[in-house]
């Protein structure tokens, strides 16, 4: 198939069965969002933000776009803006992986780093300041209607179509902005009302589980960071505030169960997905599958469970996910190398 530009390839990501890690009494599937062209679910959001702003006139030709992001939205925006000809400035805390910065820069974006001590609120406030000071278009991924809308228009219908011949009993997702949950829930509540929706979040940063309301400005933006937040390894999940996009799902009861997951377990699950299923996903993907497996423990026989995989493991090379993955040969690999006649003759 021939496409007019890279943005036309976004969406229609595959659903893949988990064969070796799932218990026998359920069917477990993942929606592999790393099949998007910039390798994450945020490609959908990036295109939606830009095209909605173009259509409304909020984004003018050649105007600079600015956004605060942990990386995936920024990479998606960098791809979309490169294809459409918009300059892009990304603001990101310096705690996020360096490969994310480099991917945005190779796509032509400028990346402004904020101190990790200021957390997500620090990068958020800096992006707002830059937009106001320079007359740039602020993408506002945490508040914009374009966020949940794209998942209502694309991700949700894709899931319904993929499971038209199966009864999807459980849908599991985490949250960054909350767009996937909110948009997909709109569709599932209408078209598959028996599907239970499970929201996952970091065990040690339970913003939703805390029950503590987020203080907001009149435009939905957070006033300050949430008191329940703690540092966690889920890059892209659970910023230190509850986004306005997620708040809709909380207010409307758009999920049936909250499933906290621990960081070390999520890292281990991402490694198991790679080594036992051949699926490369990040820590957030590992966390979502870990939550899905916890759901599976008590799910009735014959249950059909779908977990979202937001991105690829290659976005985590400099994070704890790869701490135990050697760059040089291990002793076992060296022994394999030495097992051939040529190595023995060379005296290696």
Of all residues in the chain, the percent with pLDDT exceeding 70 is 99
Q: Which of 92, 109, 138 is the last residue of a domain?
A: 138
Q: pLDDT of 313-333, one tens digit each?
A: 999 999 999 999 999 999 999
Q: Is residue 344 part of a domain?
A: no
**What sign does the dihedral 232-237-241-247 (CA atoms) show?**
negative
Question: Which are the catalytic amino acids?
Answer: 42, 284
Q: Which residue has the tokens 């595959």?
A: 14
Q: Which of 86, 110, 138 is the last residue of a domain?
A: 138
The pLDDT of residue 28 is 98
My answer on whether 283 and 233 are in the same domain is yes
Of all residues in the chain, the percent with pLDDT exceeding 90 is 95
My answer on whether 128 and 62 are in the same domain is yes
Q: Is residue 126 part of a domain?
A: yes
Q: Phi and psi (nearest 5°) for 112?
A: -105, 125
* Cα angle, residue 98 at apex, residues 107 and 288 outer, rounded to 5°: 95
CATH number at residue 317: 3.40.50.1100
DSSP secondary structure code for residue 154 in this structure: I
Measured CA to CA, the distance from residue 64 to residue 335 in angstroms comes to 55
The pLDDT of residue 1 is 92
DSSP secondary structure code for residue 261 in this structure: E
The pLDDT of residue 274 is 98
Within 13 Å of residue 17, how many CA atoms lie on the same side as its CB? 9
pLDDT higher than threshold 70 for residue 128:
yes
My answer on whether 178 and 239 are in the same domain is yes
pLDDT higher than threshold 90 for residue 138:
yes
Q: Is residue 282 part of a domain?
A: yes
Q: pLDDT of 62-89, one tens digit each?
A: 999 999 998 899 999 999 999 999 999 9
The pLDDT of residue 346 is 66
pLDDT higher than threshold 90 for residue 259:
yes
Measured CA to CA, the distance from residue 243 to residue 264 in angstroms comes to 25
My answer on whether 173 and 291 are in the same domain is yes
Residue 306 pairs in a beta bridge with 29, 171
- The sheet carrying 88-93 orders its strands as 110-114, 88-93, 65-68, 137-138
Is the Cβ–Cβ distance between 319 and 70 less than 8 Å? no
- Which residues form the domain of 126? 42-138
Q: How many domains does the chain have?
A: 2
Confidence of residue 292 (pLDDT cuts 50, 70, 90): very high
Long-range Cβ pairs for the range 54-58 (8 Å, 24+)? 58/137
Read off the pLDDT of each residue in 15-30 and give the average, rounded to a whole number.
Answer: 98
Confidence of residue 248 (pLDDT cuts 50, 70, 90): very high
Confidence of residue 348 (pLDDT cuts 50, 70, 90): low
> Of 64, 224, 220, which is closest to residue 138 (Cα–Cα)?
64
My answer on whether 252 and 206 are in the same domain is yes
- The sheet carrying 170-173 orders its strands as 15-18, 26-32, 303-309, 170-173, 196-202, 257-261
My answer on whether 214 and 282 are in the same domain is yes
My answer on whether 221 and 280 are in the same domain is yes
Q: Is residue 335 part of a domain?
A: no
User: Which residues touch 156 (CB under 8 Å, ≥6 apart)?
Assistant: 183, 184, 185, 186, 187, 188, 191
Read off the pLDDT of each residue in 126-149 and give the average, rounded to a whole number.
Answer: 97
Residue 91 pairs in a beta bridge with 68, 112
The pLDDT of residue 236 is 84
Q: Is residue 260 part of a domain?
A: yes
Q: Is residue 1 part of a domain?
A: no
Q: Is residue 248 part of a domain?
A: yes
My answer on whether 119 and 238 are in the same domain is no
Is the Cβ–Cβ distance between 72 and 310 less than 8 Å? yes
Q: How many beta carbons lie within 10 A of that of residue 277, not counting itself?
A: 18
**What sign does the dihedral 120-149-244-238 (CA atoms) show?**
negative
* Residue 142, both tokens: 């945490």
Read off the pLDDT of each residue in 11-39 and give the average, rounded to a whole number.
Answer: 98
Measured CA to CA, the distance from residue 68 to residue 127 in angstroms comes to 6
Is the Cβ–Cβ distance between 5 and 83 less than 8 Å? yes
Q: Is residue 154 part of a domain?
A: yes
Measured CA to CA, the distance from residue 44 to residue 25 in angstroms comes to 33
My answer on whether 201 and 302 are in the same domain is yes
Q: Which of 80, 109, 138 is the last residue of a domain?
A: 138
My answer on whether 292 and 162 are in the same domain is yes
My answer on whether 107 and 204 are in the same domain is no
My answer on whether 172 and 284 are in the same domain is yes
Q: pLDDT of 153-211, one tens digit each?
A: 999 999 999 999 999 999 999 999 999 999 999 999 999 999 999 999 999 999 999 99
């Amino acid at each position: 198939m021939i496409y007019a530009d890279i943005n036309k390839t976004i969406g229609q990501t595959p659903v893949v069965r988990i064969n070796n890690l799932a218990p026998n009494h359920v069917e477990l599937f993942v929606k592999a969002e790393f099949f998007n062209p910039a390798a994450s679910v945020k490609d959908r959001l990036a295109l939606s933000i830009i095209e909605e702003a173009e259509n409304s006139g909020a984004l003018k030709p050649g105007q600079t776009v600015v956004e605060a992001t942990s990386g995936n939205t920024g990479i998606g925006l960098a791809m979309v803006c490169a294809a459409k000809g918009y300059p892009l400035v990304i603001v990101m805390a310096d705690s996020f992986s360096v490969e994310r910065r480099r991917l945005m820069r190779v796509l032509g974006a400028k990346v402004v780093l904020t101190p990790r001590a200021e957390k997500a609120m620090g990068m958020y406030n800096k992006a707002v300041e830059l937009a106001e000071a320079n007359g740039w278009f602020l993408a506002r991924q945490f508040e914009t209607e374009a966020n949940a809308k794209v998942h209502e228009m694309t991700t949700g219908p894709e899931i319904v179509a993929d499971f038209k011949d199966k009864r999807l009993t459980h849908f599991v997702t985490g949250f960054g902005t909350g767009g996937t949950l909110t948009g997909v829930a709109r569709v599932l509540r209408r078209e598959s009302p028996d599907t239970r929706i499970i929201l996952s979040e970091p065990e040690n940063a339970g913003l939703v589980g805390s029950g503590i309301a987020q203080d907001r400005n009149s435009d939905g933006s957070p006033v300050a960071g949430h008191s329940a937040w703690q540092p966690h390894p889920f890059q892209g999940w659970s910023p230190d505030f509850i986004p306005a996009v997620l708040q809709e799902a909380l207010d409307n009861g758009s999920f049936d169960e909250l499933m906290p997951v621990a960081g070390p377990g999520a890292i281990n699950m991402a490694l198991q997905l790679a080594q036992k299923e051949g699926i490369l996903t990040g820590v957030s993907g590992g966390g979502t599958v870990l939550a899905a497996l916890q759901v599976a423990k008590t799910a009735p026989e014959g249950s059909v469970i779908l977990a979202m995989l937001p991105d690829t493991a290659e976005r985590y090379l400099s994070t704890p996910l790869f701490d135990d993955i050697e760059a040089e040969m291990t002793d076992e690999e060296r022994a394999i190398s030495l097992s051939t006649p040529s190595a023995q003759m060379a005296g290696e």
